[in-house]
Structure 1
Amino acid sequence: MSIFSTFLKVTWKSTGGRISLSIFALCLVLAVIGPMIAPYGPTERCYDAAGKLLRLTPPSWDHPLGTTVLGRDVLSQMLWGARTAMIVGIMTALGSVLIGLNFGLIAGYFGGRVDAILMRITDILLGLPFLPFIIVLLSLTDRNIWTIILAMSLVMWRSTARIVRAEVLSLRERQFVAAARTTGASDADILYYEIAPNVMPLALTSVTFALAWAIITEASIGFLGFGDPNVVSWGSIIYDVYASQAMYRAPWWVVPPGVAIMVLVTSVYFIGRAYEEAINPRLQDRG
């Protein structure tokens, strides 16, 4: 059984895990097919039969979530924004955990000077303000969805590295590692074929929490106006509402992205929590 299928099976056992996985699966499906079923393009303007721009119109049959100040369909923008949230969230989570996993494995296994150098790098990054540092990185590059993913991945791996390192420090003293050494296995083989599989549950937990943080961070970047100007995201929708001073005049415009971010992030968090409790039953007593 693969690690991913084991993750799903374990998480599905709890009621909260089932609900959260179902919500996440729905969001993932919408991210994939949303742009195909969206009635309008993300920047397409809508007009009535007389050719008048439908500016800030409330929800109707033709526009279930209303329109923006520029006459764009909010529902269509939400569907396109779901794809952005998922791409940035998943890619950033995988990238950051991959970096943190390797840092933690190498630091914990080799110890000594290697451990000291890698952990000092980690400590320096832990001391940097998270969101401002990402914004600075983005200001130095061409802002697009891939540079956003890269900038976030280069910052979000820090806690994963420390968690994995702590586990590896214990695992490297186990008998199965000593047995692998006696058979002549190389350090790389021991590290990635013997130790790494034993820290994958921790890595999967880190992926879920990194995914939640990545979605929130991407929305924050978009809201602050530092996102990809060529891509619609839930954060950029809220930014447009604020910039248009329509926060109170058009609740149908600002509420959907806010609710979507909250629901998606909460579901991802509870997926991680359900999996964490399943692999560490002692956490269940803490609620």
Structure 2
Amino acid sequence: MTSIAWTRRRTAFARFWQEYRRHRAGVVGALILLVAVVIALVTPFVVDASIMDVTKAVTSDQFHPPSATYPLGTDESGRSILSMVMWGSRISLLVGFLSALLSMVIGTVVGIAAGHFRGWASAVLMRITDWFLVLPSLVLALVLSSILGGSTMTIVVAIGVTSWASTARLIRSQTLAVEARPYIERSKALGAGHWHVMTKHILPNVAPLVLANTTLAVASAIVTESTLAFLGASSGSVSWGSLLRGSYDWGAVNQGAWWYILTPGLCIVAVVLAFTLCGRALEVVLNPRLRGVTR
């Protein structure tokens, strides 16, 4: 039975990849993400962490333009922008992945529960969801990060608990559609409980939507983290957002240090665009009704 299951999984993955690679934009996005993840993983092995220590920086090379020694120039303390960007990718991607995962878990649980249960339970869950929807998520995340402290996990929690409401709405609507199918009624008639219906029937049907939405949530989380870091709610670690904040604080524009602003900004744009391309491609691949859309 185990070999049969693995064979089915390999076959399903082969079909998925065959369909996914037809979407050139999705493949390009996946390649960009692969490069970003590899850079984040290998950075500790190729770049010494002491490069981020301002006390060890070469102060005579402040705002040094791109050159053979500094391919992407230096910052106000003489630190290499290339090295800072490489280290910053670790925090930006980590916060993006973890906060999106937290947001998806909360949104999926609330959405499935609100769609499956009826009456007061569904009403209470949806009123809570509506409350989070009308609140400005960025302001709420800024307040939470300020109250809870400035650690990386605090930023993850602040973004995750303020961005799940739209996912809950989306999953609830899909859950209602699944609940209306005849086999759900047959399952209930045969004695299936709430847990069985939600985990064995509803969750597998909404999982593709959750997967596609997660990639878009990661992109949104990276932008939110960069915004929070730029506004001063930083974890204290180097990230792309904190680099933009540093360029603003030290007047990189007035100094003509365009590389200080452009490099982390382009990194954010490239990774967010890559996640968006992957999310759109996944949405088309996993939704049979969209496979006929012109690519």
Moved more, 161-170 or 276-285: 276-285
Partner in structure 1 of residue 45 of structure 2: 36
Partner in structure 1 of residue 23 of structure 2: 14
Count of aligned pairs between the two proteins: 281
What letter matches 1:255 in structure 2? L
Output aligned runs, 1:79-90, within 5 Å.
79-90=86-97
SS at match of 2:148: coil
Partner in structure 1 of residue 145 of structure 2: 138
Superposition deviation, residue 152 in structure 1 = 0.6
Gap runs ≥5 in structure 1: none
Asked if 1:77 corresponds to 2:84, the answer is yes
> Quick one: structure 1 residues 8 and 245, their matched pair in 2 at CA, closer, same or farther if it must change by over 3 Å?
farther
> Quick one: structure 1 residues 9 and 200, their matched pair in 2 at CA, closer, same or farther if it must change by over 3 Å?
farther
Superposition deviation, residue 36 in structure 1 = 2.1
The equivalent position to 1:122 in structure 2, one of 114, 117, 129, is: 129
Superposition deviation, residue 129 in structure 1 = 0.8
Moved more, 262-271 or 61-70: 61-70
Moved more, 52-61 or 105-114: 52-61
The equivalent position to 1:185 in structure 2, one of 168, 171, 192, is: 192
Asked if 1:254 corresponds to 2:284, the answer is no
Q: Give the TM-score, by structure 2 length.
A: 0.89
Distance, in Å, in 1 between the alignment partners of 2:141 and 2:41 is 27
> Quick one: structure 1 residues 9 and 187, their matched pair in 2 at CA, closer, same or farther if it must change by over 3 Å?
farther
Output aligned runs, 1:232-247, within 5 Å.
232-247=238-253
Superposition deviation, residue 284 in structure 1 = 6.1
Output aligned runs, 1:22-171, within 5 Å.
22-38=31-47, 41-44=51-54, 45-47=56-58, 53-171=60-178
Distance, in Å, in 2 between the alignment partners of 1:10 and 1:286 is 13
The equivalent position to 1:223 in structure 2, one of 230, 235, 238, is: 230
Distance, in Å, in 1 between the alignment partners of 2:193 and 2:252 is 62
> Quick one: structure 1 residues 122 and 235, their matched pair in 2 at CA, closer, same or farther if it must change by over 3 Å?
same
Distance, in Å, in 1 between the alignment partners of 2:130 and 2:294 is 29
User: For residues 54-103 of structure 1, what are the alpha-carbon distances to aligned partners after superposition, in whole Å with 9 as ceiling and x for unaligned?
Assistant: 21111122221111111111111100111111100111111101100000
Q: Confirm or deny: 8 A CA contact 2:95 2:222 kept in the other structure.
A: yes
What letter matches 2:62 in structure 1? R
Q: Confirm or deny: 8 A CA contact 1:82 1:233 kept in the other structure.
A: yes
Distance, in Å, in 1 between the alignment partners of 2:67 and 2:284 is 44
Distance, in Å, in 1 between the alignment partners of 2:251 and 2:183 is 63
Superposition deviation, residue 7 in structure 1 = 6.2
> Quick one: structure 1 residues 236 and 9, their matched pair in 2 at CA, closer, same or farther if it must change by over 3 Å?
farther
